Amino acid sequence: MKLLSNYFKEMKIAARGFYFYIEIVMAVILLAILLLAVSETSTSNRKLFIYNDMPQKIVEYQQDKSIKDGDARLADATEFKLKPAKFEITHQETGETTAYDFTDEKIIELETMEMLDSSTGELEETVYYVETEEDMIRLAYGESEMGATVAMDAHGKVSNKYYLQGYETDRLKSLLYILDSESPNVINAKKDRQVVRTLGVMETLNNRENWVPVFLVYLGSLMGYFIVMAYIFYDKAEGVIRAFAVSPSAMWKYLISKIFVILTTVVVSSSIITIPVLGGQPNYLLFYIFLIITTFALASLGLLVASFFDSISKAFGVMYAIMISLMIPAFSYYIPGFDPLWLRFVPTYPLLQGFKEILLNGDAGYVLTYSLVFLAGGLVLFVLADIRFKKTLTV
Amino acid sequence: MISVKNLSHSYNEDGNFAVKNISFEVENGETFGFLGPSGAGKSTTQGILTGLLKLQEGEVLVAGYDIKQVQNERFNKIGVSFEQSNVYGKLTAKENLEYYAKLFDVPTRDPMELIHLVGLDGKENVRAGEFSKGMKHRLTFARSMLNNPELWFLDEPTTGLDPTIAATIKDIIREKAAQGTTSFLTTHNMFIADELCDRVAFIIDGEIKLIDSPKNLKLQYGLKLIDIEYVRDGKVAKETLKTVDELDRKRIGEIVNNYEIQTMHSKEATLEEIFIQVTGRELVYNETIK
């Protein structure tokens, strides 16, 4: 009864404040952007620089065949500016390093082909044909894109040598190994080599749907973390926590009622975005379980942080640092090549992956495992916050 | 109702004590004044008694509960009126009281009755955020009466109130005392303490210097005084002289015989004058309206 009374009071206060409406209005705006401005299919901007070490006639034959099969189309020639550059490349298998030092600057015009998805006709990749291997390596480095040398030996056997940036996934590297001969050449254009894991789900969510997990995490859980702190600091400024502390009600009921308000807001805003975009596709039971548990965990983190400070201005540094840290996994989400091991320990990383799994009706085991992890973590944070608030009532 | 033995408290637990080894008892039905200037240790003591501050050293029993044990139910018997008003600005006066009433496990008073009692009639549906400082203070005071507390903590209950409202608040405190409510009144306003308290404690630098009733203190420390205004060299001069002091008595005679008297009043020493006499320290008033 006291819990319910606290919840209704908090909802009434939230409804009379602006945070609640910001969250809902933001959800509506994001939905409008998704439905009106984001297409279901993506526009590819992948580039590939190729140096063909084979007779021109064979090259032309292959290009004509691709165009005829609907796999490619010719585009206008493209100009690139080659700037002075100094770098090293390392052969992945031999470890042999080659140093390059270009001091000149020049503009080159490259024959350009657009590679298409044969079934949809959508642009997948733009291929630029470079006349020398050196220029190809220089462009791959300068443009931070993949380069390749396609060679044909005296027996007519074709082999590819790839120039990568170093952060590409093992998955991509494995794919290149499979596509090519038993003895491929995969070369990193930068020295750092990273272990990478990518999830296959990205390939099956369409472009519009692919935005939803990010919105769910940042508009939901992350805003929950921020808004619960805002509510607490507002109460601290009004002194009402001290008034509550001299009532017969337990402190945890006060704290959990704040989280319930956040959960209500997040469930509403997340539904506004998810249902119109995904329709009946996701498992909504799993969706709401994951949404509620993860929001609870991050809101508990917000409570704990708020317990250490008496005003939002004093908490701002820590609050901001945590928010930025929690936002980093979004880079990995959009740049699959950036996926270092440490990133998986940032809570929003499994959150993003979990929502992707749910939206695709994918790996429920992954979602449930992380739900349990977040529930346990959230409970620990909540208990710590409760202890902290009891100790710092005069703050 | 309250028993405090050897209570000490250090905010940084570094040996600098805000309250040093104080002991006192408050009887059932008593109105006990805890008096001292800002920083004397009044709020620290009240904070410990109300559970807002952790008990570090000493033994404290409040309303029959040992405050070392965490027992929220004790607040069913206790009411706390804070010096700084702390109500939800986004809730109306009535909603504030209705919400807090639901937190108690005992029968509570009708919020409208309390609103009327503190003179907020007609404001029950106005959000507290729109209230003046004094109105918020009255609402905070009203909230502390919701559960008909057996023990009532009052921290500067008339601060910032105009004289009429302050008089109403004092009447309510007297009425509650008559009904048997025990009150622990923390203030630096000696006039209010003098009017309301059965006993007072003077606290300075975290130490209790004296505990007694205002009446006994006046008998023990108070001296009959005479304020005289007279004309000397064409100007009005003023002197306060003790009637029990031989030299002062001679001076009174000298003035009466030699000068034109403008006014002459006898008076009792105030509690504030006794406080200064006992502690050697003056009280600092933050209020503009007393």
pLDDT, one tens digit per residue, over A102-112 is 999 899 999 99
> Residue A97 CB: number of other CB atoms within 10 A?
11
Q: What is the dihedral of CA A38, A40, A44, A45, to 10 degrees?
A: 10
A337 — pLDDT class (breaks 50, 70, 90): low
Which residues of chain A neighbour B78 with C-beta distances below 8 Å? Answer: 246
- Digit-coded pLDDT (tens) for B136-180: 999 999 999 999 999 999 998 887 788 888 889 999 999 999 999
Residue A194 has pLDDT above 60, yes or no: no
**CB distance A140 to A49 below 8 Å:** yes
Strand partners, A99: A88
Q: Among partner residues A12, A16, A248, which is closest to B103 by beta-carbon distance?
A: A248
Largest interatomic CA distance in chain B: 72
Q: Is A18 on the interface with B (CB under 8 A)?
A: no
Q: Give the Cα separation of B254 and B257 in Å (integer).
A: 5
What are the chain A neighbours of B140 within 8 Å (beta carbons)? Answer: 243
Return the beta strands (E) in chain B as ranges: 2-9, 19-26, 31-35, 57-62, 65-66, 78-81, 151-155, 182-187, 199-204, 207-212, 225-232, 235-242, 260-267
Give the span between the Cα atoms of A110 and A127, in whole angstroms: 9
User: HEC profile for A102-126?
Assistant: ECCCEEEEEEEEEEECCCCCCEEEE
| Average pLDDT over all residues of chain B | 87
User: Taking CA A56 as the corner, what is the angle to CA A54 and CA A60, rounded to the nearest 5 degrees?
Assistant: 115
Query: How many angstroms separate the CA atoms of A125 and A145, rounded?
Result: 11
Q: Where in chain B are the domains?
A: 2-219, 223-267
Angle between helices A364-391 and A251-278 (to 10 degrees): 150
Residues, chain B: 290
pLDDT at residue A166 tops 80? no
Q: Does A247 contact chain B (CB < 8 Å)?
A: yes
CB count, 10 Å around CB of A320?
11
pLDDT for the residue A393: 65
Q: If phi over 0 gives left and psi between -120 and 50 gives alpha, with beta otherwise, what is residue A309?
A: beta
Q: Give strand pairing partners of A108.
A: A80
**pLDDT value, residue B223:** 66
d(CA A162, CA A148): 4
Q: In what order do the strands lie in the sheet with B225-232?
A: B235-242, B225-232, B260-267
Chain B contact for A244 (CB, 8 A cutoff):
yes
* ipTM over 0.85 threshold: no
Distance from CA of A216 to the nearest CA of B (A): 29
Using CA of residue A167, residue A172, residue A176, residue A177, what is the dihedral sign? Answer: positive
Query: Does A237 reach chain B within 8 Å, measured CB to CB?
Result: no
Residue A264, pLDDT > 90, answer yes
CATH superfamily placement of domain B2-219: P-loop containing nucleotide triphosphate hydrolases (3.40.50.300)
- Per-residue pLDDT at A274: 92
Q: How many Å apart are CA A372 and CA B36, to the nearest integer?
A: 55
Q: What was the pLDDT predicted at A395?
A: 38
Binary contact (A5, B99; C-beta < 8 A) = yes
Q: What is the pLDDT of residue A310?
A: 85
Q: What is the pLDDT of residue A167?
A: 64
Distance (Å) from the alpha carbon of A8 to chain B's nearest alpha carbon: 9
What is the Cα–Cα distance from B262 to B238, expressed in whole angstroms? 10
Q: Are B173 and B122 in contact (CB under 8 A)?
A: no
Q: Tell me which residue of A366, A374, A335 sits closest to A225, measured CA to CA.
A: A374
B182-187 vs B31-35, strand pairing mode: parallel
